[in-house]
Each structure stands twice: as C-alpha cells, then as structure tokens.
A and B are shown apart, each in its own frame.
Chain A
C-alpha cells in the first residue's frame, strides 16, 4: 500500500465534507432529512470500523455502545432535564465506561469466542433495557420532548428540530469523527493497531503491549458509537430498544463491509449505499431484511474488501 502525502489525504476528506455542506442547499427536503440521518449512522459505522477494520476484532455487540449513548443522552434529558450539551456528554461517558468494562472482559477471548461474547453482552444490555421498562419505556421506547431539544449557544438558541440545524449538527459531528479517524489511522498508534491485526504475536514480540492497545481501541470505538447514539437521540428525538437489538449490531458490520473495512470513507459510502438500497426497494417490497441478508452473503463471497477496498486495491493505492 502506497502512502499518501498528508496534504492529498486531508484534501480529499475536506473535499467530502465541503460536498456534504453544499448538498444541504440543493437537496430536496426528503433527501435532506435522509442524509442527516445517514451522517449520524455513518459515525456509528466509523466507530465500528475503528475496531473491525483496523484492529481486526469482529464484534457482534456494538448496538450496546450505540444504545448506551442513545439512552445515556435521551434519559438524561427526559428524566433529569439536562441541557443538550450535558446530555450529549452523558451519552459519551456512558459509552466510554461500558466499552471499558466490556473491553476488559471480552478481550480475554479472541476470534469466534470474542464474537459470541460481545453478542451475549449486547443481549444482556438489550434485556436490561426491556426489564427496566419503568425508566426506559421498554419496547415502546420514549420520545424526547421537542421543547428540551434546544441548543443554547450564548444568547442564541437553536432548535434541533429545525431541518437545517439538524443537518449541520450531524455534519459537524460527522466531520469531527472523520478527521479524527484519519488522524488516528495515520498516527503511530494507528500503525500499531494495524500491526496487531496483521500479526499479534509478532507485535507483542516487538515490545508492544497489545492488550492495552486493543483496550484503548475498544474504548475509542465504543465512544464514537455512543456519540452517534447520543446525537441520534437528541436530533431525531426517539429512544427505543430496537436500537439495542442484535440487528443494530449487524447493520454497522454490513455498512463497513460494503463500503470497505479499514478505509476512512468506506463507512460513509456503505451506509449511504445500503440506506438508499433499502429506501428504494421498500417502495416495491417490505422484505428489506431479505436484501440485507443477500447483501451480506454476496459481500463475503465476492467482495470481501468492499467498494472502497476494491477501488484502493485496483486503482487508487494511496486512499487512506
């Protein structure tokens, strides 16, 4: 893999962000709303990619980190009446703490056992949400009241229900996480993670503490996913147990596989593509899970590197 000059890589990413900014002014209302949602969910996928793509740890339980952020932020607003920034921070803290605990336990295993253990912890988290229905609303979920979803900045207050504010907030979160991912991947730490993915024993032999590096990656990944969940609760105003179910652990895997694991822009492309495929096909059939299933099988069979991974391999070796 050829190494891009930093300027080229950053130019590409800033270009993508500028494009998304410009799209805000030209897109029709329906697609405008859809793209805001896709950007928030792409953050979820980027968090997943951090662990799956770069460290090679396949988790089947990331829905718990997303919903830790979702419930952390949502419940802080609903039950405690916290302001939007405080609730967002609460969501992040919940995700980071949960990721630390889960990482300490689950990283004792590897391979298939890691997949099953993460799935089981996520299942426990999901069942706890159902069990505590008095606070979480159970499988009905809760609506975050519109009056509470107002971001106060100095003397101006921005209603997060306003489509433009919502789009721009999603874009800001997306841009921060995208540039942060790029910086991490190009850093020394990012290279250690890739080294662990390629050959953990050898990395250990070279004197790196692989366990604490992996643990840090789980925490970073979990926190990014929690940021996505917290933003989802605050921007779209709904908190529900569906987001903690197994399906929401599988979806980021699908998005990342489709877009290209271990590529910085792959998660966005995968999420965008899959969201529109489901959106378009749901016009003809309600069987969108069928599409998800077929896509998963075709991807692992024929395109294990995903869209951007294949492009990088064939044509653009410098893609980060």
Chain B
C-alpha cells in the first residue's frame, strides 16, 4: 500500500478512537466540571460497560443486532445504577472532598476490577457486530460498523451539547457547576444534581464501551488505557469544557492512530503523557480552557 492510502487508513482508525474517547472523556469532564470530583474509577466503569455488553449479547439469541441493541440500552443503565449507588454510599458521605474522593474512587477501581476478574475471568471475549457491511474504497475495504461508531458518537455528543445548553436540566447543571451554594439557595436540589451527573458520566463511558466492544473485545483490564487517555483529553481540552473535550479527543485520537502506525506505541505513550504533564504544570487551565475563576 502506498503512503497516501496508508495515512488515510491510519486517520480513519484514529477517528474511531477519537469518537469513543470523546464520549468517555466527556463523562469524566462532566463529573469533574460539576462535582469537582476526579473519578479514577471511570475506566473501570467503561470496562464494566463492555463486560456487560458481552453478557447481555450472549444471553440473547437470534440476530446479533438484537443482542447488541439490547446491550446498547441495558449496559449503560446498569452501569449508571451502579454509579448512583456508589455516589450515594461513598462520595456523598465524603462531602465530595476532592482528595478523599480520589482515594475512594481508587478503592472502587480495585473492587470493580477484581470483581470483573472473579466473575468474568481473565479471557478477552468478542461481541459480534450488529452488521458486517464493508465499504469498498479504491485502495481497501473498510468496516461500515466502524464508520457507524463515529456517527453514533457524534449524535450523542450533539445530544449532550443540546441538553447542556438548551434545556432546563442543562441550566440546572450549569448553575450547580458555577456556584453550588447559590444554586442551593435558589432551590436547586444540588444533591440530586450531583447524583445524576455522576450516573450520567458513568453511562457515557459505558455507551462508549458498548460501541467499541465489537472491534476490540471485552477484557477486565481494558479500563486502564481509556482512563489515562481521558485524563489527557480532559486536561488538554480544559477541565469541564465540552468543546475543548471534543477538540482534544479528535486531536489525541488522530495523533494516537497515526503515531502508533509509524512509531512504537510505548514511545508514543511516553511522549504523550510527558507532554500532558507539562501542560498541566505550565498551563493548568488547558490549551483551550479559560482561566479558572
């Protein structure tokens, strides 16, 4: 294959990564933005989504699309419910103290990971894609399903943007983010907003995982990379900024796809992580974010 088509393939793969990454990182960003909580267990909620997708799609017989659709609806709901329970039982009792919640979510990370290992096992298992149509380009055939991931992610991102900026729920969320005490004084149930946002963040991660699982298999350690990449995206994009998150996800996804085609993936990760740490040290508001109040 020539350089041009090779680059196109790398870019397409990168866009698929970006699409999934944008959803996962948006969940992390919302939780941080509204609640000021860094959820270290976010990657494990992603993994849980993928594992549940496998469980649901194997439980349902018939056409693979049927099982996949059931997983797409049920897995995020279950993950959201688990997040809700964790929020009520742990985070709320810690009063959302930023440092205590990091320690607590590290605890959740280990618990979820170990439970997945115990009940799901160490194997990587595939989920069948809902359809297997291949789009034929002049140089190579490309999976139609992968392109549909990009479309689905874009749709969800637009929907989230719409909810955040154009609806009453979004207004309440933004008010809580801006000043939770004043919001409380105006009768906004800040407590319930927090619970809802935490569940929503988890559900976004779970949806992303269900979308990616037909092409990357479900495994109990699969949450590590998305967590690190989401951190990177959220930091580069500016904490709590939706537009920044999406721009950064596309940037990181594309460069990750292209760099790892041409260079060693470990070296790519070293450079990316180091760059992001430097951004955080020298420009803590992110490359696209505005200075914090």
Contact = CB atoms under 8 A, between A and B. Distances in A.
Interface of A: 58, 60, 105-106, 108-109, 111-113, 115-117, 120-121, 123-124, 127-128, 130-131, 250, 253, 257, 287, 289-290, 292-297, 299-301, 304
Identify which of B98, B276, B277, B280 gathers the most chain A CB atoms within 10 Å of its CB: B277
A287 B114 contact: yes
Contacts of A289: 110-111, 113-114
B270 A124 contact: yes
Minimum-distance CB pairs A-B, first 6: A293-B110, A296-B107, A293-B111, A297-B107, A120-B277, A290-B114
11 contacts: A105-B281, A109-B281, A116-B235, A124-B273, A127-B273, A131-B267, A289-B111, A296-B106, A300-B94, A300-B104, A304-B100
B103 A120 contact: no
B107 A127 contact: no
B38 A112 contact: yes
Nearest to B267: A131
Interface of B: 38, 90, 93-94, 98-100, 102-104, 106-111, 113-115, 117-118, 228, 231, 235, 264, 266-267, 269-270, 273-274, 276-278, 280-282, 284
A196 to B, nearest CB: 16
Given A115-B38, A123-B273, A294-B107, A108 B100 contact: no
Given A116-B235, A124-B270, A127-B270, A301 B110 contact: no
A117 B281 contact: yes
A286 to B, nearest CB: 8
Nearest to B90: A297
B100 to A, nearest CB: 5
Q: By DSSP majority rule, is chain A's interface helix, strand, loop, or mixed?
A: helix
Contacts, number: 101
A250 B106 contact: yes
A106 to B, nearest CB: 7
Nearest to A293: B110
A128 B271 CA distance: 10
A241 B66 CA distance: 44
Contacts of A115: 38, 99, 102
A123 B103 CA distance: 18
Given A117-B281, A294-B107, A130 B102 contact: no
Given A124-B270, A128-B270, 6 more contacts: A112-B98, A112-B102, A116-B38, A131-B267, A287-B114, A293-B107
A287 B122 CA distance: 13
Given A58-B99, A295-B107, A131 B276 contact: no
A178 to B, nearest CB: 25
A297 B104 contact: yes
Contacts of A293: 106-111, 114
A300 B103 contact: yes
A211 to B, nearest CB: 14
Contacts of A109: 280-281, 284
Contacts of A300: 94, 100, 103-104, 107
A295 B111 CA distance: 10
A106 B273 CA distance: 14
B222 to A, nearest CB: 16
Contacts of A112: 38, 98-99, 102
A124 B280 CA distance: 14
Contact of A116 (B111, B117, B280): B280
A280 B35 CA distance: 38
Contacts of B117: 287
Contacts of A121: 277
Identify which of B93, B117, B273 gathers the most chain A CB atoms within 10 Å of its CB: B273
A287 B110 CA distance: 10
Contacts of A106: 281
A287 to B, nearest CB: 5
Contacts of A127: 266, 269-270, 273
A131 B268 CA distance: 11
B108 A297 contact: yes
A117 B280 contact: yes
Contacts of B111: 289-290, 293-294, 297
A111 B115 CA distance: 31
Nearest to A247: B110
Identify which of B228, B264, B274, B280 gathers the most chain A CB atoms within 10 Å of its CB: B280
Contacts of B274: 120, 124
A113 B284 contact: yes
B110 A120 contact: no
B1 to A, nearest CB: 28
A253 B99 CA distance: 12
B102 A131 contact: no
Nearest to B93: A301
Contacts of B270: 124, 127-128, 131
Nearest to B235: A116
Contacts of A130: 266
A296 B103 contact: yes
A312 B215 CA distance: 55
Contacts of A124: 270, 273-274, 277
A104 to B, nearest CB: 10
Nearest to A110: B284
Contacts of A299: 103
A109 B281 CA distance: 6
